[in-house]
Amino acid sequence: MGTWLIRLRDRLPAGGGLRDEDWAGRHRLLTVLLAVFVVASTVFGALRHQNAALLWIDLLVLPTVVAGTLLRNRRLRSVCVAIGFTIACAGFVSLNNGLTEAHFAFFIAIAALALYRDWAPFGAFLVATILHHGVFGMLNGAHTYDHDSARTHPLFWALLHGFAVLLAAGFQAVYWHLTEAEERRAADNLEESQAQLSIAFDETPTPMAMFAPDGRLLRGNAAFRQWLRLPDELPADFSVRDLPLVPVAPESSVLERVMASPEPLTMVRRFRRIDDGSLIWVQLHTTPLRDRQGRLRFIFAHCQDVTSVRNHEEELRRQVRHDSLTGLLSRKAFEQDLAVMLRGRTPVSVIYLGVDRFKSVNNGSGHATGDEVLRALAARLTRVAPLGALLARLGGDEFAVAVAGPSTSGPLLGQEILAAMSEPLDVGDNPLPISISVGAASGHGAEHADDVVLAADTAMYAAKRAGGNRLEVFTEDMRVSVRERLAAEARLRQALTGHLPWTLPLWFQPVVSTVNGQIVGAEALVRMRLPDGKILSPFHFIGAAEETGLIVALGEHVLRSAFDHLLYWSSHLGYVSVNVSPRQLADPGFVPMLAGLLAEHPELDPSRLVLEITETAVLASTVDVGERLATIKRLGVRIALDDFGTGYSSLTWLKSVPADVVKLDRSFVAGLAEDQRKASIISAVLWLARSLGMSTIAEGVEEMADWEALRAAGCPAVQGYFFSEPQPPEEFQAMLINRKCVTPLAQFT
């Protein structure tokens, strides 16, 4: 029996366990509910005109409310409230003349009293309930039970009601037991978590600390105390102000910043140690911990000594001011020092120079040789530049020199630099001749630093475009030219982002057979349509496209559009030729892009597409153009040699390039009928092309006499303004449908 009782005791909840503030809140709630219940019962009884019953209910309940409020022992206070609930429930049953449903109030009260989690009020309510049902059932059965059986056997029904209440209490006891078990597990987990946190906090090698909102140090780990050379035991009122660190540049307090910010902060501050005066850089990571109301409770801080990192960064910044290859100033340092120089009273001249065809040096002799050239050039510049001048390598093969003095000092120094570079540079064991392009500009005022460098840069590129190995002094006309190029680039970029068939339409110039005068093909020529509807020729944007590399995207659009028109005019047009620039041909993605387009249109005969290339495209390219052209030929696409006869090695080029079509330049066609030498050259080219299996097209035909001479010479096809200017697709389609170009050709149809 004893063992069974022990097991039962262990399974029952211990009761209690509430913190004082939690218990006080629950007791206050139950006391108020009891008072409200009494008031509600009083109103209910008055409505039923049972004033006598109300009097004894109020007289019995009110003392329990007062006792539950004034007594100091919390168990006695809870018992008083439990007895008060018993009296209130009994009174409610009496007011309802023993109505069975009125007894439900006891079950509600037992659930409410379970909030105490204490056996004393629970047991008091249970005992008082049984006594009420038994005693009052025998003394006044009509006001306790509303059925005859209970009135006849009040004690039985008292026990029955008590048992029912006991069952309700049993479920509450089970709830207590489960809750207490969960709380014990939560407490164990909390203790384990706190132990783990303490180990992680105390043993981590990173200095960490917790501060109160007023700055008091609540906790610091061993690394924090060791870093700041603090004793293990600190006074209770030790605060941030007592730390042995003094900020070098006092700013707003870290504590104030953390309190003002709802988010974690990371900041770097410089401090001086009080004990030895050494300077340290500290990176602080602070995290404010707030309660649900947003009040700051703690500040958690990670401290990292980043002195060595900052010192290394300072050294790197010193190195950044100088170019690692040549030892001259870097671009950024030059711009900073130039701005300072321009603040003076004397004008400043900037000389901007670049090595001509430096890419050929790198590609031909290797990058190591290219680096030697740059170092040798920097050394020679240093010898030529006057004392006090700024010398910088701005990047790649571009250098700059800035000197203070009259505006004429810049061009004079530029000429001296050109003269100094006329002698070969000592590169390795061999002298290497180079040439440079030099631009000069002058300015005054720090706000014009960027302008004067840009002006000198513009003048240098003008010197390059003029052939190189020369000096150009900046003029406003150059600025206008630059602005025009920038405007052309902006227009082209805008067009490429728009609806391409509208912003960059293709126009077509027919290629006419000399045999029957019919259109056998067409050359596709891109145009640009501005927002106002104006049409621009390629002259206004192709140069910008080449310089910026946008020619690659533009060329892809032209090819796609040419494919669309070839498919649309499949039964009317033999082929379309498209110009390919040197930059397009050198792009590694060009051939795969072309192959992809052909794969997207398997119904299109690849030979109906002709790619026109110039001798410049072959000579200027740094890639193996022959291999790329051979790959294009394997795709089935035909190749035309454009502007034939204008280069230095056209005949050799004709033999070495796997072309299908030769396009005679207009310079050979114009005035052909009156120039026997041109006629002889064209006859020779026609014979050579036929012997190599190539077709020939004469460009730029504008006169009837030239047309007749080409027919007589046996040139198979021609194109030019004599037949038609480039036309938009709609007008060109009308020509295709008529199968002829102009009235003079009617004799061939």
pLDDT digits (tens, 9 = 90+) for 38-68: 787 777 777 766 666 666 777 777 888 888 8
Note whether 90 and 136 are within 8 A (CB). yes
- Within this chain, do residues 414 and 277 fall inside the same structural domain, yes or no? no
- Within this chain, do residues 341 and 307 fall inside the same structural domain, yes or no? no
Q: Which residue has the higher pLDDT, 346 or 102?
A: 346
- Within this chain, do residues 726 and 692 fall inside the same structural domain, yes or no? yes
Confidence class of residue 252 from pLDDT cuts 50, 70 and 90?
A: low
- Within this chain, do residues 566 and 434 fall inside the same structural domain, yes or no? no
Confidence class of residue 180 from pLDDT cuts 50, 70 and 90?
A: low
- Within this chain, do residues 69 and 155 fall inside the same structural domain, yes or no? yes
pLDDT at 251 over 80: no
Q: What is the mean pLDDT of residues 13-24?
A: 68
Confidence class of residue 583 from pLDDT cuts 50, 70 and 90?
A: confident
Confirm whether 403 is domain-assigned.
yes
Confidence class of residue 624 from pLDDT cuts 50, 70 and 90?
A: low
| Tens-digit pLDDT profile for residues 347-392 | 899 999 999 878 777 766 777 888 888 998 999 999 999 988 999 9
- Within this chain, do residues 169 and 218 fall inside the same structural domain, yes or no? no
Confidence class of residue 744 from pLDDT cuts 50, 70 and 90?
A: very low
Give me the residues paired with residue 718 across strands.
512, 698
- Within this chain, do residues 89 and 165 fall inside the same structural domain, yes or no? yes
Confirm whether 187 is domain-assigned.
no
The pLDDT > 70 percentage for the chain reads 83
- Within this chain, do residues 301 and 361 fall inside the same structural domain, yes or no? no
- Within this chain, do residues 543 and 670 fall inside the same structural domain, yes or no? yes
Confirm whether 453 is domain-assigned.
yes
Q: What is the pLDDT of residue 746?
A: 37
H helices of 385-506, where?
A: 409-420, 449-465, 476-496, 500-503
Domain boundary among 280, 311, 342: 311
Confirm whether 579 is domain-assigned.
yes
| Tens-digit pLDDT profile for residues 292-349 | 777 888 888 888 888 888 888 877 777 778 888 888 999 889 988 998 888 888 889 9
- Within this chain, do residues 395 and 509 fall inside the same structural domain, yes or no? no
Q: What is the mean pLDDT of residues 109-122?
A: 76
Q: What is the mean pLDDT of the chain?
A: 81
pLDDT at 259 over 80: no
Confidence class of residue 153 from pLDDT cuts 50, 70 and 90?
A: confident
Domain boundary among 164, 181, 198: 181
| Cα 367 versus chain centre, distance | 35
Q: What is the pLDDT of residue 52?
A: 60
The whole-angstrom separation of Cα 619 and Cα 731 is 37
Confidence class of residue 649 from pLDDT cuts 50, 70 and 90?
A: very low
Q: What is the pLDDT of residue 449?
A: 81
CA-CA-CA-CA torsion sign (613, 614, 620, 626): positive
What CATH number is associated with residue 254?
Answer: 3.30.450.20
Q: What is the pLDDT of residue 609?
A: 96
What CATH number is associated with residue 732?
Answer: 3.20.20.450
Q: What is the pLDDT of residue 275?
A: 81
Which residues contact residue 567 at a Cβ distance below 8 angstroms, ignoring those fewer than 6 apart? 601, 603, 604
Q: What is the pLDDT of residue 635?
A: 94
How many residues does the structure list for the chain? 749
- DSSP characters over 53-114: HHHHHHHHHHHHHHHHHH-S-HHHHHHHHHHHHHHHHHHHHHHTTT-GGGGHHHHHHHHHHG
Burial per residue of 343-370, b for 16 or more beta-carbon CB atoms within 10 angstroms, e otherwise = eeeebbbbbbbbbbebeebbeebeeebb
Confirm whether 706 is domain-assigned.
yes
Q: What is the pLDDT of residue 483?
A: 78
| Tens-digit pLDDT profile for residues 431-472 | 888 889 999 998 887 667 888 888 899 899 888 878 889 999
Q: What is the pLDDT of residue 176?
A: 67
Q: Which residue has the higher pLDDT, 705 or 15?
A: 705
pLDDT at 646 over 80: no
Q: Which of 118-127, 203-212, 439-448, 612-621 has the lowest mean pLDDT?
A: 612-621
- Within this chain, do residues 157 and 216 fall inside the same structural domain, yes or no? no
What CATH number is associated with residue 358?
Answer: 3.30.70.270
Of the candidates 326, 448, 464, the one whose C-alpha atom is nearest the C-alpha of residue 395 is 326
pLDDT at 160 over 60: yes
Confirm whether 387 is domain-assigned.
yes
Confidence class of residue 593 from pLDDT cuts 50, 70 and 90?
A: very high
Confirm whether 492 is domain-assigned.
no
Give residue 580's domain range: 505-742
- Within this chain, do residues 459 and 516 fall inside the same structural domain, yes or no? no
How many domains would you assign to the chain? 4
Between the alpha carbon of residue 264 and those of residues 64, 224, 267, 288, the distances in Å are: 53, 20, 10, 6
